[in-house]
Structure 1
Amino acid sequence: MAHLTGAPEINLVDPDSYERDGIPHAQLTWLREHAPVFRHEGDPERGWPAFWAVTRHADIVHVSRHPELFSSFTRLALFDELPDEELALNQLMMLNQDPPDHTRRRGIVNRGFTPRAIEALTGHIRDICRRLVAEVAERGPEADFVRDLAAPLPLQVICELLGAPVEDRDKIFEWSNTMIGGDDPDFRKGAGVDPETVAEEGRKAAMAIYAYANELAARRRAEPRDDIVTKLLQPGPDGEVLDGDEFELFVLLLMVAGNETTRNAASGGMRALLEHPGQWERLKADPGLVRTTADEIVRWVTPVNLFRRTATRDTELGGERIREGDKVVVFYASANRDERVFDDPFTFDVGRDPNPHLGFGGGGPHYCLGVHLARLELRVLFETLLDTMPNMELTGNVRRLRSYFINGVKEMPVRVAPRA
């Protein structure tokens, strides 16, 4: 299909192009129009089979809401292929489960992520944002938005959630980068380009998080506190509790997912506001728009570009015949520019409402557990920036993460001018 007249060359998993140009919107736009469920070539050298690339909003929602047809468990939810001997442990992670196991686990974890529980963190998050901004202002006027603001915010919030010391944030940051940034030489710690060496670095980081979580669980079992860790380790009203490897794997997921997504939404959102100064001025004139701004940032940036599912039986999607065992990959960044759903999808609009974006997933059992937390962090961060340094400006090149999975920014130099 990629060779039809007028078709661009299709390669949706080239990390170099993501680092250089960002999300390949030209390819995705063509696919939505001409081949919304597209048989994408694999890569034998990396052990990737051919896969179905799903690019329309409606089809991604369908895949997301039918785990009985499109499984996260069979071959996991991440794009890369793992050897069979590594599947079993990873299948214990909530991200890689299907109902009913996923339903049980999510029911337990939800105790700490209800809207009320998250809203109770507002004061803590506001204090963190004000402290970070004050530190930037004191060092200013030059800063790096990622290093100084976007990265430490979710790390400190995670430390707050876990009741972990704030001084642990640097190692959490390094572990997360190593696991997510394996395709990026800046995060390989000298591992070079050998895929097996890079994979081994990722495994070491995962085991370090696992050991950290194990120690944390032991401390909370001995000395319970009023925090999310204690809530998860003690039986709830239904008697259910996270046991065995479940708690450690949840902490691993929280450290990576809760860190990377908010960091890159904040960085990409600030970049969008600075590159669309009319929208930044609009937000300054009406700070109440910060609530819709948070969702527009998630739509525009789409911090997580894709996830994988595996067909459990023969089915049809977008007019294509999907066979049992086929690899099916949903592209959220494409759904969030779907002309069938959004008016002027390539316009960044801080007042966009309604905004049925899929930046938190396409619904169904894997809809983002941390949606309320992510919105709160973004809202409070931008409220704080509007209040304290509304005259920020870009001063240099923005360096992107070399990744087709995370739509990330590594460096974003800015000049800060605190409000007089």
Structure 2
Amino acid sequence: MAPQISLDSIDVYDPEVYVAGVPHEQFAVLRAQSPVFHHPDHEQPRGFWTVTRHADVTFVSRNPEIFSSHRQTCFLNEQTPQSLAEQQLMMVNMDPPDHTRLRGLLNRGFTPRSAARLAGKIEAACDVIVDKALATGSGDFVTMCAAELPLVVIAELMGVPHEDRYKLFEWSNRMLAADDPDLSPAPDEGVVAAAEAYAYANELGRTKRACPVDDIVSKLVTPDENGLELTELEFDLFFILLIVAGNETTRNAISGGMQALIDNPEQWERLRADPARMARRAADEMVRWVSPVMAFRRTATRDVELGGQLIRENDKVLMYYTSANFDDEVFENPHAFDIGRDPNPHVGFGGGGPHFCLGRHLALLEIEIMYRALARRVAQVVPTAEPRRLRSNFINGVKEMQVRLVPAD
């Protein structure tokens, strides 16, 4: 019988905890006993509040006037004064009305219709990716399939030369892997990567301003019908955000989804039996199950009561999507991976409100089309080694997943 987990032994902040997998047992204890829990902080003495229930995560997400993204950014770790000032310029770290203005400019490139226009190119990309993977036969599923698709799509979306797509992969890895020595061996590796991406974005924006073409970059850096456009700085920062958000999250949903299918072979057979009908719901379930971004931070702008606790102004508040997505008050049998789950009101793209994921339609489309292609062409995915997980308390990621692909008849 497993030992009881006491509240005073809870630690869902240490990145090392996540190397073995998401600590679902700890989150279950928090949801049941202390859904808004004052947690010790490894970086500062004041501690922070963990918000673990679906309803509370949604409340925090939808009330930016009480829970600010701007005051101390949305990122979990503490910032230096210089870093804070720089990070606050990014859309993800803005509050309304600044966030509203910037998001309004960006929305034109990320509507469902815009995503649907890319469907044919995503299908063609998936065919090529699966062809190559089957020809190779065995290898790392992350690099063969999961990482390749979002890189191709971002390059297409942004008008980035195809041969430059691996730069995006490298930059995003280095920027987000500060806690993983395999991917970020030097302490300032993320800062260096961000500077390289920033310089690349600046040159890309300059090129598109001079010679606009039919891609999203040209739309964003040239005036719309109302004369509105992104400034040079706004575009450069958005580019950095996009290569991280559009790459890391989709990649980890695809790879984590495959791990879930390997662990639940009956769901793989269910998908293979009817990929055209099941792949979209499977994509949604993969996002719920994986919760690629496990948590975001907010800062209280005033004293407020939440979950029976008094949160003081300027307190650090962490919303744990990876806990909310397993809340049994919302999801029936949440620890069952069910590709037909319906309804599926997960918060894998955020809990609503102004920061609800801009690229969610495109992400779901990518996952859906990739799994349609895999289900039609691959009979079985056989693991050949234990997967290696990212050491991170922020991104739920698989660094490496060695598999053998058995082609369908």
Tell me which interval the TM-score lies in, with the shorter structure as reference length: over 0.9
Say if 1:49 and 1:205 are closer, same or farther in 2 by CA, change over 3 A.
Answer: farther
**Counterpart mapping for 1:100-179 below 5 A:** 100-140=97-137, 142-179=138-175
Deviates more, 1:5-14 or 1:274-283: 5-14
| CA 1:48–1:263: 2 relative to 1, 3 Å | farther
Matched, 1:258 2:250: no
Q: Could you tell me how far 1:84 is from its partner in structure 2? A: 1.1
Normalization by structure 1: what TM-score?
A: 0.94
What secondary structure sits across from 2:179 in the alignment?
coil
- The answer on 1:329 being equivalent to 2:318 is yes
Residue 194 of structure 1: aligned partner: none
Identify the residue that residue 203 of structure 1 maps to in structure 2: 191
2:17 is matched with 17
Match of 1:401 among 390, 397, 407: 390
Matched residue, 2:371 = 382
Whether the 8 Å CA contact 1:61–1:363 is kept in 2: the answer is yes
Matched residue, 2:62: 65
| 1:220-239 aligned within 5 A | 220-239=208-227
> Which residues of 2 match residues 174-323 of structure 1 at below 5 A?
174-188=170-184, 190-191=185-186, 198=187, 200-287=188-275, 288-323=277-312
Post-superposition CA distance 1:42-100 (Å, at most 9, x none): 12xx3474000000000000000000000000010000111112222211100000000
TM-score (norm 2): 0.97
Once the 2 structures are TM-superposed, how far is the Cα of residue 8 of structure 1 from its aligned partner? 6.7
Question: Which residue in the other structure is 1:35 paired with?
Answer: 34
Percent identity among equivalent residues? 55
CA RMSD of aligned residues (A): 1.3
Does the 8 Å CA contact 2:390/2:396 hold for their aligned counterparts? yes
Instruction: Indicate conservation of the 8 Å contact 1:61/1:362, yes or no.
Output: yes
Contact 2:202 2:232 in 1 (8 A): no
Structure 1 runs of 4+ with >6 Å offset: none
* Deviation for aligned residue 1:116: 0.5
Q: Is the 8 A contact 1:8 1:27 kept in 2?
A: no
| Alpha-carbon offset, residue 390 of structure 1 | 2.7
Provide the rounded CA distance (Å) in 1 between the counterparts of 2:41 and 2:8. 17
Asked if the contact 1:77/1:95 (under 8 Å) is kept, the reply is: yes
Q: Cα gap change, 1:212/1:48 in structure 2, threshold over 3 Å: closer, same or farther?
A: farther
Which letter maps to 2:11?
A: N
Contact 2:349/2:360 (<8 A) preserved = yes
Letter of the structure 1 residue corresponding to residue 21 of structure 2: G
Instruction: State the alpha-carbon separation in 1 of the partners of residues 63 and 346 from structure 2.
Output: 19
Following the alignment from structure 1 to structure 2, what is the Cα–Cα distance between the partners of residues 267 and 5? Answer: 30
Cα drift, residue 244 of structure 1: 3.4
Q: Distance in 2 between matches of 1:6 and 1:241?
A: 53
Secondary structure of the corresponding residue to residue 185 of structure 1 = coil
Deviation at 1:201, TM superposition (A): 1.4
Q: 1:6 to 1:17 in 2, by over 3 A?
A: closer
**1:195: which partner in 2?**
none
Can you give the 5+ residue segments of structure 1 that lack an aligned partner in the other structure? 192-197
The offset of 1:167, in angstroms, is 1.1
State whether residues 143 and 413 of structure 1, in contact with CA within 8 Å, keep that contact through their aligned partners in structure 2.
yes
Q: 1:412 aligns with which of 376, 388, 401?
A: 401
Contact 2:5 2:29 in 1 (8 A): no
Structure 1 residues 388, 48: CA separation in 2 closer, same or farther (over 3 Å shift)?
Answer: farther
Change over 3 Å in CA distance of 1:5–1:138 after alignment to 2: closer
Give the Cα separation in 2 of the matches to 1:241 and 1:312: 31
Aligned AA for 1:105? L
The structural deviation recorded for 1:271 is 0.7
Question: Structure 1, residues 1-55: CA drift from partner, whole Å, max 9, x if none?
Answer: xxx9954721011111101x21111110011011000000012xx3474000000
Give the aligned residue type for 2:157.
Answer: L
- Please list the CA deviations of residues 180-230 of structure 1 after superposition, one character each: whole Å capped at 9, or x if unmatched: 111111112x42xxxxxx1x2111111111100000001101110000001
| C-alpha distance in structure 2 between counterparts of 1:304 and 1:5, whole Å | 25
Cα gap change, 1:101/1:386 in structure 2, threshold over 3 Å: closer, same or farther?
A: same
Letter in 2 for 1:109: L
Q: 8 Å contact 1:9–1:27 — kept in the other structure?
A: no
DSSP 3-state at the match of 1:107: helix
Structure 2 unmatched ranges of 5 or more: none
Deviation track 1:318-359 (CA, whole Å, cap 9, x = no partner) reads 110010000000000000000110000111111000000000
Deviations 1:365-397 (A, max 9, x none): 000001001000000000000111132221211
Say which SS state the counterpart of residue 245 (structure 1) adopts.
helix
